[in-house]
Amino acid sequence: MLTTRPYFSTLMLGLLLMLTACANSPTSLYQQLGGNAGISQITDHFLVNLSQDKRIVHHFAHTDIAIFRQRLIEHLCVVSGGNCEYKGASMFDAHIGLHISQADFDAVVGHLIDALKQQHVPIATRNALLAKLAPMYEDITYH
Footprint of other proteins (CB under 8 A): 55, 101-107, 109-110, 113, 122-125, 127-128, 130-131, 134-135, 137-138
Contact call for residues 121 and 33 (beta carbons, < 8 A):
yes
Our CB check for other proteins shows the closer of 67 and 130 to be: 130
SS3 88: coil
Our CB check for other proteins shows the closer of 6 and 26 to be: 26
Our CB check for other proteins shows the closer of 39 and 108 to be: 108
Contact call for residues 113 and 121 (beta carbons, < 8 A):
no
Cβ at position 76, least distance to other proteins in Å: 16
Cβ at position 74, least distance to other proteins in Å: 22
Cβ at position 68, least distance to other proteins in Å: 21
User: HSE (CB half, 13 Å, CA atoms) of 108?
Assistant: 20
C-alpha pair distances (Å), 80 with each of 37, 50, 87? 14, 21, 16
